[in-house]
Amino acid sequence: DAVDRGEYPHYMLKEIHEQPQAIADTLEGRIAGGRILTQILGVEAERLLAETQSVHIIACGTSYHAGLVARYWIEQLAGVPCTAEIASEYRYRNPVVREGTLFLTISQSGETADTLAALKLSRQRPYLCRMAVCNVPESSIVRESELVLMTRAGPEIGVASTKAFSTQLVALALFALELARARGLDPARYSDGVRQLELLPGQVAQVLALDPQIRRLAEAFVQKQHALFLGRGTHWPVAMEGALKLKEISYIHAEAYAAGELKHGPLALVDADMPVVAVMPNDALLDKLKSNLEEVSARGGQLYVFADEDVATGMDKGHVLTLPRAGEIAAPVISTVPLQLLAYHVAVLRGTDVDQPRNLAKSVTVE
């Protein structure tokens, strides 16, 4: 039974552990011979992708964070201008839309009131087409979109979204790579991206095996009032998602910052009582991130770093947890998983209602 907790004490933990399978399901039948099948997006996809000049991503909550990661991919791989915005702002700001813009909603439920309202508003603008990345096939958002890419996460019961997020990233990577291919992405970089997706279920399973270590790390957070999450590039939204998980279920105030922005404010908060969590991929911003973390360390901040195995050894400050080696597509997914586990264990240790945090709902169908 897909909605049975089975051996797990909470749905959230079960759903975190279902991610290798959910990711494999989301890729199933969508890649053949090292190529993504464009028609998985819809019959008109080939033409619409060729005509896409820019992308507007609209979503709420965790789905918005997936959109922020996708924004980097779409601009870096496809060279197509992209914005990502929360639906509750978009729908009231009178958005200006240029010709050739693809409107992309991301939603687990497909019923979030603000996202649905934004989608309806998009009909009054000259968008090229509407696309949905969604987990519920019969939902309103799917019905109202011309292109659809379903995540196949299965039912998600925990209010704090986990497997919906990682499968959204996978679906968005498929889209970004296809959009990029239509715009002449270097074939080697394309093939490498597809390969990263194919290897992802196994790599996420490897990260799940770090659970006992992450549980031990979680003990350091139990008595804290605040935590800061840092990342750069695609890992800034990963840090935002890590902070959101922690605040949702443990009720610890958590904030995410792009690490380069530290010195413009949050550095003033850093002291021995402030745990600072950083996600460290092996990318072009590595040295810059390292010097940001030096600044934290020099002020007595307690660092907890989740680092790609190729760069973990060079990190001599704080508590370092080593993640599998990952490229630009896989890394944000891989880095998210330990942050989910961290939030989960901190919440369990604090004795909160992990699956049903106070004041929150799984699906927000009223404004």
Enzyme catalytic residues: 362
Least Cβ distance, residue 240 to ligand G6P (angstroms): 12
Q: Are 216 and 338 in contact (CB under 8 A)?
A: no
Cα(303)–Cα(294) distance, integer angstroms: 10
Residue 19 interacts with ligand G6P (CB under 6 A)?
Answer: no
Between CA 275 and CA 235 the distance in angstroms is 18
Q: Is 88 in the site for ligand G6P (CB under 6 A)?
A: no
Query: Taking CB under 6 A as the rule, does residue 140 contact ligand G6P?
Result: no
CA distance linking residue 362 with residue 288, whole number of Å: 37
C-alpha to C-alpha distance for 26 and 24, rounded to whole angstroms: 5
- Report the relative pairing of strands 31-32 and 35-36 from DSSP bridges: antiparallel
Asked if 360 interacts with ligand G6P (CB under 6 A), we say yes
Candidates 26, 52, 101, 112; binder of ligand G6P (CB under 6 A) is: 112
Using CB under 6 A, pick the residue from 19, 26, 38, 62 that binds ligand G6P: 62
Question: Residues 69, 22: contact at Cβ < 8 Å?
Answer: no
Q: Which of 38, 145, 161, 196 binds ligand G6P (CB under 6 A)?
A: 161
When binding is defined by CB under 6 A, the residue of 26, 108, 122, 166 that contacts ligand G6P is 108
Query: Is 363 among the residues that bind ligand G6P (CB under 6 A)?
Result: yes
Smallest separation (angstroms) from ligand G6P to the CB of 162: 9
Sorted by sequence, the CB contacts under 8 Å of residue 269 that are 6+ apart come out as 226, 228
CB-based contacts of 174, cutoff 8 Å, min separation 6: 27, 30, 36, 40, 149, 197
C-alpha distance across the termini of the chain, in Å? 33
- Per CB under 6 A, the list member of 52, 115, 282, 336 interacting with ligand G6P is 115
* Minimum CB–partner distance for residue 153 and ligand G6P (Å): 11
Residue 38 or 107 with smaller CB distance to ligand G6P? 107
Residue nearest to ligand G6P (CB): 61
159 binds ligand G6P (CB under 6 A): yes
Interacting positions 31-60 with ligand G6P (CB under 6 A): 60
Burial 6-43, CB ≥16 within 10 A → b, else e: eeeebbbbbbbbbbbbbbbbbbeebbeeeebebebbbe
Q: Segment contacting ligand G6P (CB under 6 A): 20-28, 38-46, 102-110, 296-304?
A: 102-110
- Closest CB 112 distance from ligand G6P, rounded Å: 3
Tokens (6 digits) for 180: 């990029």
Q: Which residues make up the interface to ligand G6P (CB under 6 A)?
A: 60-63, 107-109, 112, 115, 159, 161, 360, 362-364
